[in-house]
Structure 1
Amino acid sequence: MKSLSAFRYCISLFPLLLCCRLLSASEPIPQELRPWLNGQNWHRDTQGPILELGNPGEFDDTHLFAPSVSYEDGQFSLWYCGSRGTVKQRIFQMGLAHSPDGIRFQKQQQNPVFQFGDAKHSILTPTLLRTPDGATLRENNQLRMWFSSTDFQDPTGLHQLHETTSSDGIHWSKPSPAELKHVYAPTILKTGRTYQMWFTDVSKDPWCIKHASSLDGKKWRVTPDPVLEIDQTWEAGRLFYPTVLKINDVYLMWYGSYWKARKNTTALGFAASIDGLKWYKSAANPIFKPDPDRPWESHYVTSQSVMRLPDHSFRIWYASRKQPPFVNKYFAINTAHWSGPQVEKVATPQQKPAKFTSWKTQTRQKLSQLLGIPDTKVALQSEKRGEFEHEGTVIEKWIFTSEPGSRVPAVLYRPKTLTKPAPAIVLTYGHGGSKSQWQYNYAAQAYAKAGLVCLAIDPIGEEERHLQGKLGTRAHDPKAVHERAWNAGRPIMGKLVFDTMRGIDFLLERDDVDPEKIGVAGNSLGGAVASWMAALEPRIKLAIVSGWAYHNVTLRSKYCTKVPNQRMREICTWPEFLSLAAPHCAVLVMNGDADWIIDSDDDGAAWRGTRSAVSDAANVYQTQGAAGRVQAWFEAKGGHRPYMSHPDALLWIQQHLGTPLLTKQEIQKLPTVNSGRWCDAHQIRLERLYGTDLHQRGATLADFKLSPLSPTKLACLKPEERGTPAFTLEGWLQQIEQTD
């Protein structure tokens, strides 16, 4: 009964019937977003506005809008923008109102409570710092508020982001200097150490929604691409007023646009995301519309604030306009209530074990197509370029053909004496890594000392596959390179994975390699490549995924990793992605629990998610008769380090591939060396970002008394071949564009 229960749990991870629904949908959607993207039944539970224009002569007697609502100590506080004068002459100041229930509000007697102070600039669209679920977040007991400001008499129309602080919500500090240009209607959450902002970019028409991040809430780094643009039939002219929450690792956004169905109106749309960058709009949009039967909100219903209440329902506060002529830019503030989505578990019928194999085959096919993995392979045309011995290890230099127009320099490490075919590992590389970089050179020699064959290739765009033969270039990272490869149907990640697969083809042509004992190991981006290899390559029996995570945080990384992972998550979940390796491949996920390079919010979410994915996948492995073949390993207080050379990595290799020259006990007794001291001893200079004790300088390496090999010593190409199209990123891009 226990095994049957475990199998039912396994199958619950794989909703096979869902595949048919995805194929018929216009756009695949990650599973956890689907409940949120149905229609939203908002109930207007008042008979009139909750906040109206002030009396004649008061600061808000002609215009009021942009509610920002907080709930603290049993009281709702609503800050809003109000103004006198004509539309052209308006200068907005900020008012405050209080309520015991979020519905009945009383304006503060001291209004306005905040103004820019120069009689020119307006206070617009204030937003408070919030926790991911939308609760008010104080720092040093202070409310922290950002707002957009502009001088409506300025013909440039420049809007800039400023901030202010307050302990009581009434007395605010002077506006800060401008922090960012072209910002309107910001919404800001703090996720871990990171401040995340979504805002309306008003630099040009049509307005769109953009994202920015910061480590202090002052210096902002804008994500290059818009996260939301006009692309649904109901939307017209512009997008504006994003409001974002994050509930159970799902980002939720309510946003406004002009509504095509009725002239001179706005309405609210809704979108959801698993990373805050790639958003999926609801097919039921607009989810909130003006009501012609309520004259005070018959035309505009935007400029909103949304809060999740303690009972997990939602309340929205929004500004409205009555019918034209629009004497009042906005006329009133209103509220509505939504009980939230109906989340139902998908009941999956019991399946026979063969269904898992069928699901795996179908999912691998989809993911291979996503990466643009070629259907056919050409002859390797392997050509040996030399051989030498180094400290008891034989090093062979080769080139082979990966695909038409793309050849690969490769170095193979092997023990000097082999009595029978040996296990083998192909290395995969981090950003800027290549066969001569110290951490991969070290790992290759260490594996050979343990009795394995190790293949180290140059990834596309690095070292001998760089136009000028440079190391550490990250030549495949720029957006322009990503777009060229993606548009040709050959994503960069797919190229890295396919070249690694061809490395396995190379190993299988050798008599000294055991074809049943081949694995991959990589760090950082190399960990990502290793994760894809584990998912897609049935010939490997081991994968060491170092310096990477099975979590949505990786969707906020560089183009070569984030875009394929975003698309992958439309097809399967993280546990499912990891479970594609079951039962054939033993996967060890290694990292440090203080690695903020990967866990960019530095709140542990990436590691909690990875542990959860590994735990779920372990159940799948167990039902497939492979218990114990997937594990998560974390070094306490460890950063972004090359863990594939840690003694525990060697123990995993010994257990699942074998280490012909070392027993388990001998590995356990190996001395270790600190990577920083080893690099210093050999005059190896580390990159500034990684060359710290937290990161690469702090790694623990199995100590085989190794010394590094120079790029010149490991060079495979003839002088006349260097920089030629067959060996460069540019040459490959030109080749796939011609083929496409």
Structure 2
Amino acid sequence: MRVLRFSLFLALTCLSTSGFIFAEEIAFPKVLTHFVPYSNNPIFTAEGPGHWDVKIRERGWILKEGDFYHLWFTGYDGTRAGLKMLGYAWSCDGIHWTRSPCNPVYKKHWVEDMMVLKHEGTYHMFAEGKNDIAQHLISHDAVNWKRVGPLDVRLSNGTPIPEGPYGTPVVWFEEDQWYLFYERRDAGIWLARSPDLKVWTNLNHDQPIMKPGPQPYDQKMIAMNQIIKYQGTYYMIFHGTAAAQKPSLWTTNIAASKDLLHWKKYTGNPLTKPEANQSSGLLIPDGKRFRLYTMHNQVDLNLPQDP
């Protein structure tokens, strides 16, 4: 009996200690969480009536290469049914932007809510197509794009996921594996993996790796916008809403993980005020620290808070 009690004590101690260590390892540094609005927001908007981009919508994307900033965005005629087309702009400071004279740079298919990563000299774009179906496009110059097609996402048993939207794709590449985060009707975030970008298989027993709540700021709907790795920890930027009123007011938030599966939301969320209605956030390094951009409806900039 004494041996049993001692063994039980050791087991409980180990569980408690491991939980404590895990909690201690998940940190939310100020450089990723404390920002102040730029005084001259917005820094990028639609050109308005008379132009191809009467309005812009959903997540745009900023990619910094050296001292050069790329910006991709979705423009449309302002109607719900209007074709969502891809626009491109560039900048040397991440604040003042020059639009491509070729805009829209892609209009063969519906493209919105995109993200871009560069791998072995090729730009890979993952975006929503029509009816919020995630798709893949590629480019060798960041401007001219070729559509590969919709993403083939499977359940863990190899069968296709149930019909319906699967959008706001976020892709991460590490150790010869591609990871896809996606949402379904903003009701949760799922994770799938692929060795070759052809077939994506769900992880986590087909269950979402993050759900809305329990706090009010994301109690009704969430969607992931970006993943970065900083000092050995993965950080997710996501947006959420309480949907307490119409139209819904969205906030930009952050969560962290050590393994891509188990995520802890920052207790200081949201990073933006609900009344600002800023979503589709991105953390972009400026060479010294991170800037926080929000991309939906217009591009706003939040600068690092002084130490």
Which TM-score band (shorter chain)? 0.7 to 0.9
Say how many residue pairs are matched: 278
1:138 corresponds to which of 119, 124, 131: 119
Do structure 1's residue 214 and structure 2's residue 221 form an aligned pair?
no
- Supply the distance in 1 between the matched residues of 2:142 and 2:32 (Cα, whole angstroms): 35
Whole-Å separation in 2 of the counterparts to 1:64 and 1:242: 14
What does residue 257 of structure 2 align with? Answer: 273
Deviation at 1:249? Answer: 2.0
8 A contact 2:151–2:199 mirrored in 1: no
Q: Does 1:169 align with 2:169?
A: no
Amino acid at match of 1:149: G
Higher strand content, 1 or 2: 2
Distance 1:260 1:108 in 2: 36
Q: Which residue of 2 aligns with 1:196?
A: 179
In the alignment, the residues of structure 2 paired with residue 100 and residue 128 of structure 1 have an alpha-carbon distance, to the nearest angstrom, of 18
- The alignment's TM-score, normalised by the length of structure 1, stands at 0.35
| Higher-helix-fraction structure | 1
- Matched residues in 2 for 1:104 and 1:270: separation? 26
Match of 2:299 in 1: 333
Is 1:102 matched with 2:94? yes
Structure 1 partner of 2:240: 257
Q: What stretches of structure 1 of length at least 5 have no aligned partner?
A: 1-18, 130-136, 152-158, 293-297, 321-329, 343-740
Q: Which of the numbers 217, 229, 237 marks the counterpart of 2:211?
A: 229
Say yes or no: does 1:72 pair with 2:65: yes
Quote how far apart the aligned CAs of 1:240 are.
1.2
Residue 138 of structure 1: how far off its partner (Å): 2.8
The alignment yields a C-alpha RMSD, in angstroms, of: 2.8
Structure 1 residue 70 displacement after superposition: 1.1
Write the distance in 1 (CA, Å) between the matches of 2:28 and 2:57: 34
Seen in structure 2, the aligned counterparts of structure 1 residues 259 and 105 have a Cα distance that, compared at 3 Å, is: farther
Tell me the amino acid that sits aligned with residue 249 of structure 1: G
**Which string of whole-angstrom CA distances, capped at 9 and with x for unpartnered residues, describes residues 655-705 of structure 1?**
xxxxxxxxxxxxxxxxxxxxxxxxxxxxxxxxxxxxxxxxxxxxxxxxxxx
Counterpart pick for 1:84 among 66, 77, 86 = 77
Kindly tell me: are residues 63 and 39 of structure 1, through their superposed partners in 2, closer, same or farther at Cα, counting changes over 3 Å?
closer
Structure 1 equivalent of residue 7 of structure 2 = none
- The answer to whether the 8 Å contact 1:67/1:317 transfers is no
Please give the per-residue CA displacement for 1:624-677, whole angstroms capped at 9, x wherever unaligned: xxxxxxxxxxxxxxxxxxxxxxxxxxxxxxxxxxxxxxxxxxxxxxxxxxxxxx
Deviation at 1:143, TM superposition (A): 1.0
Instruction: Look up the equivalent residue of 1:338 and give its one-letter code.
Output: P
Which of the numbers 133, 141, 158 marks the counterpart of 1:160? Answer: 133
Contact 2:26 2:258 in 1 (8 A): yes
**CA-to-aligned-CA distance 1:324-375 (integer Å, 9 cap, x gap):** xxxxxx3x111112369x8xxxxxxxxxxxxxxxxxxxxxxxxxxxxxxxxx
Q: Distance in 2 between matches of 1:39 and 1:164?
A: 30
CA distance in 2 between counterparts of 1:174 and 1:163 reads 6
Q: Aligned partners of 1:142 and 1:259: how far apart in 2?
A: 38
Q: 1:319 maps to which residue? A: 295
| Bigger RCO (CA 8 Å, 6+ sep) | 2
Query: How do 1:274-313 residues align onto structure 2 when only pairs under 5 Å count?
Result: 274-290=258-274, 298=276, 300-311=277-288, 313=289
Whether contact under 8 Å (2:59, 2:225) holds in the other structure is no
1:29 deviates by 4.6
- String of CA shifts for 1:2-29, please: whole Å, max 9, x gaps: xxxxxxxxxxxxxxxxx9xx89x9x985
Q: Alpha carbons of 1:308 and 1:218: their partners in 2 closer, same or farther (altered >3 Å)?
A: farther
Consecutive unaligned residues of structure 2, counting only runs of 5 or more, are 1-12, 154-160
Q: Secondary structure at the match of 2:35?
A: coil
Q: Report how far residue 184 of structure 1 moved.
A: 1.2
Cα pair 1:147 1:163 within 8 Å, conserved: yes
Q: Distance in 1 between matches of 2:68 and 2:32?
A: 30
**Structure 1 residues 319 and 35, CA gap change in structure 2 (3 angstroms):** closer
2:259 aligns to what SS in structure 1? coil
Match of residue 37 from structure 2: 44
User: Identity of paired residues, percent?
Assistant: 20
- Distance across 2 between alignment mates of 1:254 and 1:167: 27
User: Which amino acid is 1:284 matched to?
Assistant: G
The separation in 2 between residues aligned to 1:76 and 1:104, in whole angstroms, is 10
- Structure 1 residue 175: Cα displacement: 4.1
User: Whole-Å Cα distance in 2 between the matches of residues 112 and 173 of structure 1?
Assistant: 14
Cα distance between partner residues in 1 of 2:261 and 2:100: 38
User: What corresponds to 1:719 in structure 2?
Assistant: none
Task: Tell me the equivalent position of 1:150.
Answer: 130
Distance in 1, matches of 2:33 and 2:45, equals 26
Equivalent residue, structure 2, for 1:355: none
> Counterpart of 2:210 in structure 1: which amino acid?
L
Please tell me the residue identity of whatever aligns with 2:170.
Answer: T
1:51 partner SS: coil
Letter in 2 for 1:127: M
In structure 2, give the amino acid aligned to 1:63: I
Corresponding position of 1:126: 114
Contact 2:252–2:281 (Cα < 8 Å) also in 1:
no
Output the CA distance in 2 between the equivalents of 1:238 and 1:71: 29
Counterpart-to-counterpart distance in 2, 1:164 and 1:70: 16
Q: Which residue identity lines up with residue 146 of structure 2 in the other structure? A: S
TM-score, normalised to structure 2, is 0.81
Shift of 1:319: 2.7
Distance 1:39 1:52 in 2: 25
- Write out per-residue CA displacement over residues 11-66 of structure 1, whole angstroms, 9 at most, x where no aligned residue: xxxxxxxx9xx89x9x9853221344999221222422111112323221133341
Match of 1:67, as an amino acid? G
Q: Is the 8 A contact 1:271 1:279 kept in 2?
A: yes
The question of whether the paired residues in 2 share the 8 Å contact of 1:38 and 1:282 is answered with no
What are the Cα deviations for residues 391-450 of structure 1, in whole angstroms up to 9, with x where unaligned? xxxxxxxxxxxxxxxxxxxxxxxxxxxxxxxxxxxxxxxxxxxxxxxxxxxxxxxxxxxx
Matches of 1:318 and 1:39, distance apart in 2: 14
In 2, distance between residues paired with 1:115 and 1:176?
14
Tell whether the 8 Å contact from 1:209 to 1:239 is kept in structure 2 after alignment: yes
The letter for the 1-side match of 2:55 is: T
Within 2, Cα distance between the matches of 1:189 and 1:273? 14
Structure 1 residue identity aligned to 2:291: R
Matched, 1:34 2:27: yes
In structure 2, how many angstroms separate the alpha carbons of the residues matched to 1:85 and 1:103? 25
